[in-house]
Amino acid sequence: DVKVTQSSRYLVKRTGEKVFLECVQDMDHENMFWYRQDPGLGLRLIYFSYDVKMKEKGDIPEGYSVSREKKERFSLILESASTNQTSMYLCASSYPRRQGYEQYFGPGTRLTVT
Amino acid sequence: AQSVTQLDSHVSVSEGTPVLLRCNYSSSYSPSLFWYVQHPNKGLQLLLKYTSAATLVKGINGFEAEFKKSETSFHLTKPSAHMSDAAEYFCVVSDLTGSARQLTFGSGTQLTVLP
Percent of chain B topping pLDDT 70: 93
- pLDDT computed for residue B74 by the predictor: 96
* Cβ <8 Å between B105 and A97: no
Residues A76-89: b if buried by 16+ CB within 10 A, e if exposed = bebeebeeebbbbb
* Cβ <8 Å between B101 and A48: yes
Question: Residue A43, Cβ neighbours under 10 Å: how many?
Answer: 27
* Cβ <8 Å between B52 and A41: no
Residue range B88-109: mean pLDDT, rounded:
79
d(CA A77, CA B97): 29
pLDDT 10s per residue in chain A (114 long)?
A: 668 999 999 999 999 999 999 999 998 888 899 999 998 788 899 999 988 988 989 889 999 999 999 999 999 999 999 999 999 999 999 887 655 578 899 999 999 999
Residue B15 — pLDDT band, cuts 50, 70, 90? Answer: very high
d(CA A100, CA A104): 12
> Which residues in A lie closer than 8 A to residue B1 (C-beta atoms)?
none
Least confident of A89-103, B10-24, B67-81: A89-103
Cα distance from B89 to chain A (closest Cα, Å)?
A: 10
Q: What is the pLDDT of residues B20-60, one digit of tens each?
A: 999 999 987 778 899 999 998 788 999 999 887 788 999 99
Number of helices (H) and strands (E) in chain A: give both, helices first: 0, 11
pLDDT, averaged across chain B: 90
> Which residues in A lie closer than 8 A to residue B41 (C-beta atoms)?
9, 107-108, 110
- pLDDT computed for residue B101 by the predictor: 58
End-to-end CA distance of chain A: 37
Strand order in the sheet with A73-78: A4-6, A19-25, A73-78, A64-70
Residue range B105-114: mean pLDDT, rounded:
94
Cα distance from B12 to chain A (closest Cα, Å)?
A: 17
Pick the closest to residue B111 from B97, B93, B91 (CA basis). Answer: B91
> Which residues in B lie closer than 8 A to residue A108 (C-beta atoms)?
41-43
> Which residues in B lie closer than 8 A to residue A31 (C-beta atoms)?
100, 102
What is the Rg, in whole angstroms, of the alpha carbon atoms belonging to chain A? 13
* Cβ <8 Å between A108 and B43: yes
CA dihedral B4, B6, B9, B12 (to 10 degrees): -150
- pLDDT computed for residue A2 by the predictor: 65
Residue range B1-9: mean pLDDT, rounded:
90
Candidates B44, B45, B92, B103: best to mutate against A (most CBs of A within 10 A) is: B44
Cα distance from A92 to chain B (closest Cα, Å)?
A: 9
